[in-house]
Amino acid sequence: MLLTDDQKMLQETASSFLSEEGSIAKELRRWRDCECDDGFGHALWKQFAELGLTGIAIAESAGGMGLGATEAALVLEEIGRNLTPSPFLITATVAARAIEGTQHAERWYPAVLAGEAVLALAIDEGPRHAPEETALEAKRQGNGFVLNGRKQFVAQGSSADMIVTAARTSAGRDGITLFAVPTGTAEVENVTLADNSRAARLTFDNVALDADSVIGEVDGGWAPLARALNAGRAGAAAELVGVAAGASAMTFDYLRQRKQFGKLIGEFQALQHRAAHLYGEIEIARAAALKAAQLIDSGDERAELYVSVAKAKAAEVASLAVREGVQMHGGIGMTDEHDIGLFMKREAVLGEMFGDVYYHRNRVAELSGY
């Protein structure tokens, strides 16, 4: 469970790049306060590309870095720590995995590698994550399909050049088909979330797609979707660990500086014990996220179980970190001027994405046979 030298080097690269170029002041606050449509900066996405990071999951033969979930997790932890808004999680790890090995990879990988394209993934249809219950209808018509239904919580959906969309072509888990939905087909409502990220609501009203837009096989969508979900869940877990680490570092610093009753507040044992507990929980969440990523990379059959463990644990711990963060900062923590509240907002969105704590605890129970 130790990182290799190459992995440590990548971690250092990501850490210095994101703390310098992707900081809260430079990116998150800038894009929040400018009332722009995307909620992230395309110039920074280009920089991701220059470092090769947009191709982290793309095979070396296709021009990418050909790396695994473990390396993606290292980058995502740094993204979480800096609250950097970017399409990295969804475009470079999730959508890139979903279209792997299909003609859509040939179509989109070059633009992703260049940092010129954004891809999205549309799964959720109600306020809760339930991919097995996908209902968006795709009916055969002539040489193609007609889609009717809706999607929501599509991260960066309105910025995306193509949206990988899960639709139902027949009953059951084997009745799901993935489509590559280009811009200008479904109706897109751009929604701003609490953390200033954007998530589209899509309405499909007799949207006609040709047969080429099918990703992989008709009724064969579950396998690539599961691959993409594993990547997304493990990735979101890693980013949540970063959010927890960033929020707690800020909070521990505050405990070492803020004085009340003539003392540094970090001298109070009531706060010391809570801080020490939080520290341990973050270490455990990081170990779980790393383990999930490593099991994905080694093709281990326990990967799915550990992905749910990691997502549930990381969300729970990040939630603790931001709640303790705001509380221990006191009044200043409630102000927009201070950054600690931004961690709380990001945690809420990431915690929900790809299934919340309850979804994944339930999954752990089901996968364990109870």
Partner 1 sequence: MTDLDDFRADTRAWLEANCPAEMREPLRSEADMCWGGRNWTFQSDAQQRWLEVMAERGWTVPDWPKDYGGGGLTPEQAIVVKEEMARIGARQPLYSFGISMLGPALLKFGTEEQKRHYLPQIARGEIRWCQGYSEPGAGSDLAGLQTKAEDKGDHWLVNGQKVWTSYADKADWIFCLVRTSSESKQGGISFLLFDMETPGVSTKPILLISGSSPFCETFFDDVKVPKDQVVGEVNKGWDVAKYLLGHEREMISGMGLGGGGSLGAAVKPADPLLRAEIAAFDVDALAFQAMSERFTAMWKAGEAHPASPSMMKYAGTELNKRRNELVIAAGGSDALEWDSERSKHGKAARDWLRSKGNSIEGGTSEVQLNIVAKHILRLPGA
- Residue closer to partner 1 by CB (options 112, 322) is 322
Helix axes 222-257, 303-329, angle to 10 degrees: 30
Work out how close the CB of 353 gets to partner 1 at its nearest, in angstroms, rounded to a whole number: 18
- Residue closer to partner 1 by CB (options 118, 271) is 271
Six token digits for residue 11: 């971690």
CA atoms within 13 A on the CB side of 332: 10
325 touches 333 (CB < 8 A): yes
**Is residue 272 involved in binding partner 1 (CB under 8 A)?**
yes
Q: Per-residue x/- marks for partner 1, 106-145, CB under 8 A?
A: ----------------------------------------
Distance, CA of 200 to chain centre: 15
Distance, CA of 173 to chain centre: 24
Q: How many residues bind partner 1 (CB under 8 A)?
A: 43
Query: Of the candidates 233, 368, 252, 223, which has an alpha carbon nearest to the alpha carbon of residue 312?
Result: 233
Distance, CA of 273 to chain centre: 31
Residues in Cβ contact with 310 at an 8 Å cutoff, skipping those fewer than 6 apart: 233, 234, 237, 238, 285, 288, 289, 291, 292, 293
Residues in Cβ contact with 242 at an 8 Å cutoff, skipping those fewer than 6 apart: 76, 77, 78, 79, 80, 81, 82
- Interaction residues for partner 1, span 333-362 (CB under 8 A): 358, 360-362
Position among 264, 297, 323, 327 found at the interface with partner 1 (CB under 8 A): 264
Altogether, the residues listed in the chain come to a count of 370
- The SS3 assignment for 276 reads helix
Work out how close the CB of 259 gets to partner 1 at its nearest, in angstroms, rounded to a whole number: 10
Q: Give me the amino acid identity at 362.
A: N
- Interaction residues for partner 1, span 1-40 (CB under 8 A): 1-2
Q: Per-residue x/- marks for partner 1, 216-255, CB under 8 A?
A: ------------------------------------x--x
3-state SS string for 211-243? HHHEECCCCCCHHHHHHHHHHHHHHHHHHHHHH
Position among 151, 291, 329, 345 found at the interface with partner 1 (CB under 8 A): 291
Query: Can you tell me the distance from the alpha carbon of 271 to that of 281, in angstroms, rounded to the nearest whole number?
Result: 15
- Interaction residues for partner 1, span 60-99 (CB under 8 A): none
Position among 269, 270, 331, 336 found at the interface with partner 1 (CB under 8 A): 269
- Residue closer to partner 1 by CB (options 231, 278) is 278
Position among 60, 263, 298, 330 found at the interface with partner 1 (CB under 8 A): 263
Position among 135, 194, 334, 365 found at the interface with partner 1 (CB under 8 A): 365
Position among 44, 136, 296, 310 found at the interface with partner 1 (CB under 8 A): 310
- Residue closer to partner 1 by CB (options 173, 259) is 259
- The SS3 assignment for 20 reads helix
Position among 273, 330, 332, 335 found at the interface with partner 1 (CB under 8 A): 273
Residues near partner 1 (CB under 8 A) are 1-2, 252, 255-256, 263-264, 266-267, 269, 271-273, 275-277, 279-281, 283-285, 287-288, 290-291, 305-306, 308-310, 312-313, 316, 358, 360-362, 364-365, 368-370
